[in-house]
Structure 1
Amino acid sequence: MSLSDHWPTGDERAFFEREGYLVVPDALSPAQVSSLTEAIERCRQREESPPEAFYNRLDILGQDDAFLELVDNPAVLGKISGLLGWNIWVNHTHYNVRPPDTSAEKYRYDWHVDGGMFSQDLQFQAPMTAIKVGFYLTDLVEPGRGQTFIFPLSLMEERNWREEFRPFTPPPSEARPLTVKAGSAVLFQQRTLHSQGSPNLSAFTRKAIFVQWAFRWLFPVDEMSVDTLDARVQDPVRRQLLGLDRKRPFGRLSPKYYPRPEDLPLKNRLIEQVGISRMCELGPAATRHLTQLLKFEL
């Protein structure tokens, strides 16, 4: 399946930039949903996590090969590449399992934006440097199933969300619950305010996997224990996204800060499948970079 089939449309790009999130229906097939659900269960049994408690497991790519399929999932990678570009990698992964809750009272929504100190140190609104994607394995169309609430980015301008949104603050009317079907993926910017979840008052256990793509010069958010995959992963694009770079020194020779063409196989794949003209939709910086590849005849 070509990444061109999943390049963001003009409407999708405008919505994502304005609202801070984007829903991708059917990003996973029913077979993939089943495979990933089974992978989570294998991990939970191996780690003996209690089935009746909320459980959040970080650094999952090395835990089960089923999770690796998400790294270059075409339906999502096409959107990510069309919004962030090609100098990217996966710097954070986790899954969480949310069993039914007994009550919605005094629920800890834990409103937050991603990025840690990156979102606090800057003296202005942080630019978009990462996109996290939630792959939902449970049907969340019905309310009360532990949906994540998204607060549209356009409504957060010039507002101090740390003062307005305490951990136990219930969702205001502007917040939107992610009422999506199983197999859907939801992209959201690292600067988009969202909840950790909401009360699961259903009889179902909500299961979701989260993968974050970021610029390659950003540090990993978790351990990113992928060295054991080095000998087994051959696809160059998947290797780039896993951070399995060719070993070079840090600093001026670092492939993170000064990548060579061989460090960015995703760019070549996008040129082949998407085309330079559509890649220029990323903006002026991308256009300037891509024109260096063109040869003009006078």
Structure 2
Amino acid sequence: MTLASFWPTAEERSFFEREGYLVVPDALSPAQVQRLVDVIDRCGREDGAQPGRFYNQVDILGRDDAFVELVDNPAVLGRICGLLGWNIWVNHVHFNLRPPDASSENYRYGWHVDGGVFSTDLQYQAPMTAIKVGFYLTDLSEPDRGQTHIFPRSHMSERNWQDDFKRFTPPTEKAVPLCVRPGSAVLFQQRTLHSHGSPNLSQLTRKTIFMQWAYRWLFPVDTMTLHDLGQRVEDPIRRQMLGLDPARPKGKLSGRYYPVATDIPLKNRLIQDVGIQKLCELGPAATRHLTQFLDFEL
């Protein structure tokens, strides 16, 4: 399928822009889910993760191709492109395991927005510059399984997160637990308030992979060690997502700020697959940029 098959619908776009998140069921097949679970379990053994303890690992792209295959997952990338555009890459990936917890007392929900100091250095509400995606590998359709909680519409107004939401503060009735099935992906804006998790009173260990697509001019959030992927990956779209930019002659401007066609092959792919009319749904800036591809009769 082409990326056009997964372009956000008008309803999806409206919901994401208003609520700050979007659930994509069945973004991964059962076989993909099982493969990723097996890879995460192997990584845990290699890292000496303690059974029964929360475990979070960043900088994972170079550890297994199963992670790499997520960077251009069509069901997700199509929607990401429809919301962010084509000058994007993956600048942060991590997975975590949230084992059963015997008690919900004094649970550390860890309410936060993503982006680190990006959200605090700016003197005003941060714009949307990245979309984080959670790939949920565990059945979270029942409550009390360590679900992430989303605070809808929290990106739409200024808020003092530190005062209004202490890290131990339980969810208010307005917070939405992500009760999703295995293989679901959840997109949320980097400025949407959400929790690290919630009490897991089940017998399951919640396993999740988080991947962030951002504009190419944003620095990586983690080390992003790619090992030999630069030599092995040939697909131009996947190379763009991995930040494997073409070499530029000395003295030239950065391709991150002044990209040409070879820097962002995703752009031409979208023009071919999606079409200029739908690409204009990204907004006035995209429309102005795309007019160079139109022929006008005088």
Q: Under a length normalisation based on structure 2, what TM-score does the superposition of the two structures give?
A: 0.97
Percentage of matched positions with identical amino acids: 70
Determine the structure 2 residue equivalent to 1:166.
166
Change (3 A) 1:250 1:174: farther
Q: Write out aligned runs for 1:90-101 (5 A).
A: 90-101=90-101
Does the CA-based 8 Å contact 1:23-1:186 persist in structure 2?
yes
Determine the structure 1 residue equivalent to 2:106.
106
Q: Write out aligned runs for 1:1-298 (5 A).
A: 1-154=1-154, 157-248=157-248, 253-298=253-298
Which secondary structure does the structure 2 equivalent of 1:132 belong to? Answer: strand
Amino acid at match of 2:108: R
Q: How far apart are the structure 1 equivalents of 2:92 and 2:45?
A: 23
Does the CA-based 8 Å contact 2:110-2:166 persist in structure 1?
yes
Aligned CA RMSD, in angstroms, stands at 1.3
Does the CA-based 8 Å contact 1:251-1:257 persist in structure 2?
no
Change (3 A) 1:154 1:42: closer
Q: How far apart are the structure 2 equivalents of 1:155 and 1:217?
A: 22
Structure 1 runs of 4+ aligned residues shifted over 4 Å read 249-252
Q: How far apart are the structure 2 equivalents of 1:59 and 1:116?
A: 17
Does the CA-based 8 Å contact 1:7-1:82 persist in structure 2?
yes
Amino acid at match of 2:246: R
Which secondary structure does the structure 2 equivalent of 1:194 belong to? Answer: coil
Q: How far apart are the structure 1 equivalents of 2:12 and 2:96?
A: 27
Q: How far apart are the structure 2 equivalents of 1:251 and 1:53?
A: 50
Does the CA-based 8 Å contact 2:98-2:205 persist in structure 1?
yes
Q: Deviations over 1:148-173 (max 9, x none)?
A: 00001258623322101111000011
Q: How far apart are the structure 1 equivalents of 2:65 and 2:38?
A: 12
Deviates more, 1:76-85 or 1:46-55: 46-55
Q: Deviations over 1:16-43 (max 9, x none)?
A: 0111000000000001001111110111
Does the CA-based 8 Å contact 2:131-2:214 persist in structure 1?
yes
Q: How far apart are the structure 2 equivalents of 1:203 and 1:113?
A: 29
Cα shift at 1:247: 2.0
Gaps (5+ residues) in structure 1? none
Amino acid at match of 1:213: W
Cα shift at 1:114: 0.4
Deviates more, 1:158-167 or 1:135-144: 158-167
Deviates more, 1:167-176 or 1:116-125: 116-125
Amino acid at match of 1:176: V
Q: Deviations over 1:265-298 (max 9, x none)?
A: 1011111111110000000000011111223343
Which secondary structure does the structure 2 equivalent of 1:272 belong to? Answer: helix
Q: How far apart are the structure 1 equivalents of 2:27 and 2:86?
A: 20
Amino acid at match of 2:136: Y
Q: How far apart are the structure 2 equivalents of 1:234 and 1:42?
A: 27
Cα shift at 1:46: 1.3
Cα shift at 1:249: 6.4
Aligned residues: 298
Gaps (5+ residues) in structure 2? none
Change (3 A) 1:79 1:41: same
Deviates more, 1:38-47 or 1:73-82: 38-47
Does the CA-based 8 Å contact 2:25-2:181 persist in structure 1?
yes
Amino acid at match of 1:27: A
Q: How far apart are the structure 1 equivalents of 2:172 and 2:41?
A: 34
Q: Deviations over 1:80-108 (max 9, x none)?
A: 00000000000000000111011111100
Q: How far apart are the structure 1 equivalents of 2:216 and 2:263?
A: 10
Does the CA-based 8 Å contact 1:227-1:244 persist in structure 2?
no
Cα shift at 1:145: 0.2
Amino acid at match of 2:65: D
